[in-house]
Chains A and B, each alone.
Chain A
Amino acid sequence: MDKEIPMRDGYGKALLEMIPTNPNIMVLDADVAKSTRTSWVKDKFPTHFIDMGISEQDMVGTAAGLVLGGMLPFVSTYGVFLAGRAWDQIRTTVCYNELNVKLAGAHAGISVGSDGATHQALEDVAIMRVLPHMTVVVPCDAEETRKATHAIAKAKGPCFIRFGREAVPVVTGEDTPFVLGKARLCRAGEDVTIVANGAMVHEALGAASELEKEGLSAEVIDMHTVKPIDVPALLESIRKTGCLVTAEEHQMYCGMGSAVAECVVHHEPVPMEMVAIKDTFGESGTPDELMQAYGLDAAHIVAAARKAVARK
């Protein structure tokens, strides 16, 4: 059994690691610093932390000004409020100016659980990836979130990283490579490709083990960078397997699955199934109850994989 740690711990850890060598980093939060782990920065490096209060639009605009003044801001709050409420600020001030603002959307996905639909970011990837100049990253565990946070700090231009609330299994190690924009092969296979990101990578690996028992060999790809998406890695895999399944904790429309579909129809049309939220809002419940009820677990990926293979 893999150790379970919340991905946001990886975000907080990376910030603590970077600040001593990068005095230009400024961490902003909108009154949820304990949740996003930016309170760790507040405690250890108080001059590198600004609590903006409950003002997401102002927070994004202030971050833009910080960049113009030579700083490197990390903007942190719940993904639903960051991407949603401050979208126009992100579009017209951050992206149009190509500003080096790093946006971190916490508590993403339906696994937020009992807070219910208002707090479950299920559209954030869609509305971020549509923006010119934006990079979108959805890491799969705490360690990958840590590495991804370092990577976006080095990348030029606006970046959005989203991660969940719950402790999830750590499926990568300190030595596992992470390259922004390069998909990570988690498991090689021959019969079907499963492209997953976020907490769904662990579910995809579980599904692959199940499928193996049925004699189906599944390849699992961690598509942590949704934009720019790694077209060569995707094509190499589906040219081998001939069909694919995408799995993400996000709406079916316009998320990572759609980004993959755009690539597939352009380059290599093959049977494809999508495991995602089916155009509906979430509700209160435990994370496990919700992931199961909304079709976001290994069993649903297994069923989708069988269907994709049957369509070949």
Chain B
Amino acid sequence: MSKDIQELKAICKKIREDIVTMIHQAGSGHPGGSLSAAEIMTALYFGGIMDVRPEEPEWEGRDRFILSKGHVAPVLYSVLAERGFFPVEELSTLRRFGSRLQGHPHKAHTPGLDCSSGSLGQGLSIANGLATAFKHRKTPQRVYCLMGDGELQEGQIWEAALYASQHKLDNLCAIVDDNGVQLDGRVEDIKSLGDIAEKWKAFGWNVIEADGHDMAAVMDAFHEAKEAKGAPAVIVAHTIKGKGVSFMENDCAWHGAAPNDGELQAALSEIRGA
């Protein structure tokens, strides 16, 4: 599955519509970090970056995706549904009792999901384990792991960063959704990460920086990451929290809040008109 940039942009719009709609229907959820990751996730699942089979979700040869920042489950659920892993109509069950779409992703329930997540800082270690297993078994799968920039405040991320470069995991591509905002405010005002790209370089990674909302640039970054050998690659994607809905953009209040009826309509018309 590989689509041209215009098609990917159209899918991205649909993903954003899904995100705000399902969070509105659920009455709770995390729109800000879901919207900032829309291009990244669209590239992975629709741009031919990841090899997956919706009709055979547990296919052993599939590439793996670990959503380390588990609270942005809506963007993952949307791409999985739009890609055909489960019916798009099911998105309206998000966070409801008995739903397969838990508030934070649960592998046992959701087709296409590679691991449960929700406690921040743990995903990169899991991705490392997968990448190590594939190297040990000499199989070609690649592993992708999406982290938030605020999440990089967790120490375990940096333990895992050391491991991946020590073991030269060039079948691993991490992505930092660098939207600059965490739940309580701006990352730089709370516990600044300084120069994120320089930090990853210092930890021995191939670092690729990209505008995380420029679909072509995101695709280029993933292709460049695939070519990088001898060290793990990280894409530092410069993004805007709440991207696509002006009143949500760069506002930490929309980290974890649901739009009401009027806000949903405003958000949808803005996304559709973009």
Residues of A within 8 A of B (CB): 26, 47, 50, 52-53, 55, 57-71, 73, 88-89, 91-93, 96-98
Contacts and interface: CB of A to CB of B under 8 A. Distances in A.
Interface string B97-129: 000000000111000001111110011111111
Interface string B9-34: 00000000000000000000000000
B156 A58 contact: yes
Contacts of B155: 57
B129 A57 contact: no
Contacts of A60: 125
A252 B130 CA distance: 39
B107 A97 contact: yes
Nearest to B60: A70
Given A26-B136, A53-B162, A68 B108 contact: no
Given A55-B163, A61-B122, A92-B122, A69 B129 contact: yes
A65 B127 contact: yes
A69 B163 contact: no
A61 B156 contact: yes
A62 B119 contact: no
A296 B48 CA distance: 63
Given A58-B125, A65-B129, A93 B116 contact: yes
Contacts of B131: 65, 69
Nearest to B141: A69
Contacts of A58: 125, 128, 156, 159-160, 163
A60, A97, A98 interface centre (most CB from chain B within 10 Å): A97
Contacts of A67: 129
Contacts of B108: 97-98
B137 interface: yes
A97 B162 CA distance: 25
A66 B129 CA distance: 4
Contacts of A93: 115-117, 119, 122, 126
A63 B131 CA distance: 11
B134 interface: yes
A55 B160 CA distance: 9
Q: Which are the 4 A-B pairs with shortest beta-carbon distances?
A: A65-B129, A69-B133, A61-B125, A58-B159
A98 B109 CA distance: 12
Contacts of A70: 60, 133, 137
A89 to B, nearest CB: 6
B24 to A, nearest CB: 28
Given A52-B163, A93-B116, A98-B108, A68 B133 contact: yes
B116 A61 contact: no
Contact of A55 (B117, B130, B136, B159): B159
A96 B162 contact: no
Contact of B126 (A62, A88, A91): A62
A91 B118 CA distance: 11
A107 B227 CA distance: 45
Contact of B106 (A57, A71, A96): A96
A93 B137 CA distance: 23
A73 B132 CA distance: 12
A67 B131 CA distance: 11
Contacts of B115: 64-65, 68, 93, 97
B64 interface: yes
B159 A57 contact: yes
B118, B127, B136 interface centre (most CB from chain A within 10 Å): B136
Given A53-B162, A58-B159, A58-B160, A65 B125 contact: yes
Nearest to B132: A66
A96 B118 CA distance: 11
A53, A71, A91 interface centre (most CB from chain B within 10 Å): A71
Given A47-B136, A92-B122, A65 B107 contact: no
A68 B156 contact: no
